[in-house]
Amino acid sequence: MHYFITNLQKFSEDTKAVEKLKKYLQDIEGVFPTIEDVYGQAWDGGQINIELDGSPGGSTYRYRSNTHVVKMGIYNRSIQNKKFPENLWGCLLHETLHAFMNPIIKNKVANKDFNGGYRKEPFIRSFLAMVYLRLCEKKVISQQLNKGFSDKLEEEMENDGGKSLFKDYVSMFSTNTNNFSKFISYLKSSDTAFTDRSNFSQDLDKAKKFLMQ
């Protein structure tokens, strides 16, 4: 298991909710190899700690004391109300992608920003879109569900202004099935790419040219 719940005992009396949580974790574990496939590298970051709270709300990711930590509400709809594969919308799947990107973002020279300053994270959501696409290619999710997920990801960009960047990333990565992992290799090879937001457009253009090689 890639996940460890640090405070499950706190909710032990709600056996129904806990059982649904355990099933949810199994479902996310089941698609973990697809994340690795899209990323182009096996996970080597140790366990991801999960801290539960009693809310129906969303989730957050932090890298704290050399540990990946995801905080999420045990009563989140994806956990308690949805079944696989509809439960693959956001939540722990989204935060796991942050964990994959953390070693690159927390660069030894400076923090990298692939979201162009947009709060709704067009890059991470494009990563998620590529995971959904690969799951669709593997027939884990249907074409209809993949389109539904992709449409929702795009809709989330509307109010933040990051829709154009999200679509740009998706176009870049979906042209070739290996483009996302190739992009990751490009990022690892450069300490300076995407470290200066004023040069974001130029850095993105350089990345596009690299993918075309």
The confidence score (pLDDT) of residue 35 equals 98
How many CB atoms are closer than 10 A to CB 175?
12
Q: Is the pLDDT of residue 154 over 80?
A: yes
- 85 cis-preceded (ω within 30 degrees of 0): yes
Q: How buried is residue 47: exposed, middle or buried, by Cβ count under 10 Å (0-12/13-18/19+)?
A: exposed
User: Rg (Cα) of the chain, in Å, rounded?
Assistant: 17
- Tell which of 106, 128, 162 closes a domain: 106
Both 102 and 123 in one domain: the answer is no
Both 98 and 140 in one domain: the answer is no
Is there a contact between 197 and 210 (Cβ–Cβ < 8 Å)? no
pTM assigned to the model:
0.95
Both 23 and 122 in one domain: the answer is no
Q: Is the pLDDT of residue 208 over 90?
A: yes
**Using CA atoms, how far apart are residues 213 and 210, in angstroms rounded to an integer?**
5
- How do residues 48-88 score in pLDDT, each as one tens digit? 999 999 999 889 999 988 899 999 999 999 999 999 999 99
Is there a contact between 169 and 123 (Cβ–Cβ < 8 Å)? yes
Both 168 and 146 in one domain: the answer is yes
Q: Which of 155-164, 171-180, 200-209 has the lowest mean pLDDT?
A: 155-164
How confident is the prediction for the chain on average, in pLDDT?
94
Q: For residue 77, give its domain range.
A: 1-106
Residues 6+ apart with CB under 8 A from 116: 122, 162, 165, 197, 200
Both 49 and 133 in one domain: the answer is no
Both 47 and 117 in one domain: the answer is no
- Tell which of 59, 77, 106 closes a domain: 106
How far are the Cα atoms of 26, 67, 138 from residue 52, in angstroms, in the given order?
16, 16, 31
Both 72 and 113 in one domain: the answer is no
The token pair that represents 73 in the structure block:
């509400």
Closest by CA to 53, choosing from 69, 80, 79, 72, is: 72
- How do residues 164-184 score in pLDDT, each as one tens digit? 999 999 999 999 989 999 999
What is the largest distance, in Å, between two alpha-carbon atoms of the chain?
Answer: 57
